[in-house]
Structure 1
Amino acid sequence: MTQDVADMNFEQALLALEDIVHKLESGEAPLDESIALYERGNELRALCQQRLDTAKARIEAIVQGPDGSPTGTTTFGAG
């Protein structure tokens, strides 16, 4: 049974996405299955991006002082 994407944590979603990418790149899935895999992969990608954006916002909140001014520097890669 396939786990609902919304119930996955970041690591589970990333592993599932990596598995889908492998299957699609290998060409081992027929067309209809490939389309379904691509759709699920897109859902997983969106979930991972949302979780990363949430983590980034939390980190930014941690490095800001009570008045909103930065208390340190944090560099994030281009997304």
Structure 2
Amino acid sequence: MSDTPVAEMSFEEAMRELEAVVGQLERGDVALDASIKLYERGAELKARCEKKLKEAEEKVAAITLDQNGAPTGTTPVESA
């Protein structure tokens, strides 16, 4: 597990760590207390990945197209 706060991770960083957490939990060779901490970290990482994906989807949806279907720019999307 990295020491980087989940809120500061990029999508790729969070996804890599989430995959590592899942791998450790699937092996089942982690003590119960450590498993609980891993599960909690995994839940945070999952939420971070979902948030970053939603932000990306909103950016893609905000792209406007001209008459020929070419992108003309983006419309700013306000963050929640």
AA partner of residue 19 (structure 1) = A
TM (normalized to structure 1)? 0.77
After the TM superposition, which residues 20-39 of structure 1 pair with which residues of structure 2 at under 5 Å, given as runs? Answer: 20-39=21-40
After the TM superposition, which residues 1-79 of structure 1 pair with which residues of structure 2 at under 5 Å, given as runs? Answer: 2-62=3-63, 64-65=64-65
Alpha-carbon RMSD:
1.8
1:28 deviates by 1.4
SS in 1 for 2:62: helix
| Structure with a larger share of its residues in strand | 2
Q: Distance in 1 between matches of 2:59 and 2:33?
A: 39
Q: Unaligned regions of 5+ residues in structure 2, if any?
A: 71-80
How many residue pairs match? The answer is 67
1:3 deviates by 1.3
